[in-house]
Amino acid sequence: MNRAAERRVFAASESPSISVIIPTYNRKEELVGLLSSLEKQTLLATDFEIIVVDDGSSDDTLFYLKTLVAGGKENLFFCYQKNQGPGAARNRGMAMARGALFAFTDTDCRPLPEWLEELIKPFSDKQVGAGGGAEEHGPAERALGRAIHFCMTSPLTTGGIRGTSGKKMAHYYPRTFNMAISKEAFERTGGFRQLYHGEDIELSFRIREAGLALLYNEKARVCHQRRSTIKQFFKQLMRMGEARVTLARLHPKMLEPLHVIPAAGILLLCLALVLAAFSAVFMSFLKLLFGAALFFAFLLGAAGSMTRDLLIKERLKLFFLVPLIFVLQQTAYGIGFYRGLWKELIGQKV
């Protein structure tokens, strides 16, 4: 037995503290970057294992993984399965895992060096079943990515006022771009359900219902690469809106006032436009609504462009881009919500 094989047998004989589970499907180039960032973790490599589940890729992902293992990457394990979706891939990874904790991230994320070390800290409390952390954009992110990131995370938007710590407008549910669960939570819940979208927050909900706590650690951070085009972003938010209806059907308590704001806003605007054509009172209301929207757009643009790492030209671009992305975000989510309601009414699974 050669020296590399001896090291691998030794590593496999000990249980790591945490297993990092990564589903992938035709994302080899993204996977290369993710695995590179995991090599820079402050947590010792002997304390965690990496499990990559290739969910039926047709590119050279499998060959790349085999090459890494053959080259002596001792804490990397992988398997291949026919395409079943990310939820099934993560369940497969958890079934393989030897750690007492399971961490999740996606190939379009780049964990910061302290990510794993910070992510496991809340689990010193045995009542914690799942935890998550923060996301940020990369230093070289373009204006569109920065605007999308702001709208998805800012306290001024529906994406940023979900509960994390303290009193918020909605409960906090960890999501798989930056999430960890205990082995006990997996055993109590059975893992991820096969859903079109939102399987991570659905699992988080069931973990909480099982009597385990959900905690957020701001210091466990990943860089999250956002959708590269407005069309991709719009489609993503529509899927999120549709999924919210499915989640409400499965667990009515998951539907909170925050989740219906975009759909209610679209309905209110349409009603105001129709009634304003017949009533001076509603025309005045519409003007007031428009003025308030302009003021809020100014606040969003000002907040979204307050960054010192950009030139004035780029900051000015963000000032106008952030309100536009916010409108697209709310519109897409609201339309998706109505589409989800329609599909539920006609008996089509979302």
Distance CA 248, CA 192 (A): 17
Q: What is the pLDDT of residue 258?
A: 86
Token representation of residue 16: 């790591």
Could you tell me if residue 167 is inside a domain? yes
Note whether 27 and 129 are same-domain residues: yes
In a domain, 223, yes or no: yes
Note whether 200 and 303 are same-domain residues.
no
For residue 337, the model assigns a pLDDT of 97
| Domain identity same for 195 and 308 | no
CATH of the domain at 92: 3.90.550.10
Q: Is residue 240 part of a domain?
A: no
Measured between alpha carbons, how far is residue 65 from residues 19, 53, 71, 218, 276 in Å?
A: 17, 10, 10, 32, 62
Residues 158 and 285 in one domain: no
44 plus 187 within the same structural domain: yes
Residue 127 lies in domain: 3-227
What the block records as the tokens of 49 is 């294992």
Q: Say if 232 falls within a structural domain.
A: no
| pLDDT tens digits in sequence order for the chain, 350 residues long | 333 333 333 344 467 999 999 999 999 999 999 999 999 999 999 999 999 999 999 999 999 999 999 998 989 999 999 999 999 999 999 999 999 999 999 999 999 999 999 999 999 999 999 999 999 988 778 889 999 999 998 888 866 655 455 445 578 899 999 999 999 999 999 999 988 789 999 999 999 999 999 999 999 999 998 767 899 999 999 999 999 999 999 999 999 988 999 999 999 999 989 998 888 888 998 899 899 999 999 999 999 998 877 888 889 999 999 999 999 999 999 999 999 999 999 887 65
Written as six digits, the tokens of 138 are 């990369």
Domain-terminating residue out of 227, 243, 263: 227
Domain count, the chain: 2
- Are residues 148 and 12 part of one domain? yes
Regarding whether 142 and 102 lie in a shared domain, the answer is: yes
Predicted local distance difference test score (pLDDT) of residue 323: 97
One domain for residues 154 and 104: yes
pTM higher than 0.85 for the full model?
yes
Tell which of 227, 261, 288 closes a domain: 227
Task: Answer yes or no: is 236 within a domain.
Answer: no
On whether both 272 and 309 belong to a single domain, the answer is yes
Q: Is residue 24 part of a domain?
A: yes
Can you spell out the DSSP letters for 290-318?
HHHHHHHHHHHHHHHT--TTS-HHHHHHH
Does 63 lie in the same domain as 24? yes
* Domain match, 221 and 264 both: no
Residue 2: its pLDDT value, please?
33
Task: Put the strands of the sheet holding 101-104 in their side by side order.
Answer: 76-80, 48-54, 18-24, 101-104, 179-182, 128-136, 213-224, 109-111
Q: Is residue 324 part of a domain?
A: yes
Q: Rounded to whole angstroms, how far apart are CA atoms 268 and 304?
A: 26
End residue of a domain, out of 161, 193, 227: 227
Q: Give the whole-angstrom CA distance, residue 213 versus residue 66.
A: 38
What would the DSSP string read from start to end of 49-72?
EEEEEE-S--SSHHHHHHHHHHTT
Q: Report the pLDDT value the prediction gives residue 167, as an integer from 0 to 100.
A: 44
For residue 308, is it within any domain? yes
179 plus 266 within the same structural domain: no
What 8-state DSSP symbol labels residue 84? -
Paired residues of 101 in beta bridges:
18, 182
